[in-house]
Amino acid sequence: MELLLKNVDPKDFALLRNLSKRLGIQIEKQKESVDDKPDNATVAEDLREAIAEIKLAQAGKIKLQNARDFINEL
């Protein structure tokens, strides 16, 4: 049987690791994947920042980057 735990506090993970050793259960810690989806708070904050930049550009206070330059950065 496999069990996957996500976003476990390091202190709790240490407790789980000690318990698994006592019970003779094998435990494997995997690196976090880079492809994880961002949480809703991060997406909402990114959208707020983008809207603020658009408003500044419409007011003429900043100049936005064109699509070609943006793609070249990627």
pLDDT, tens only, 7-64: 778 888 888 888 888 998 887 776 666 666 778 888 899 999 999 999 999 999 988 8
> DSSP of the chain, one letter per residue?
------S--HHHHHHHHHHHHHHT------PPPTTPPPPHHHHHHHHHHHHHHHHHHHTTSS-PPPHHHHHHH-
- The predicted pLDDT at position 5 comes to 77
pTM tops 0.75, yes or no: no
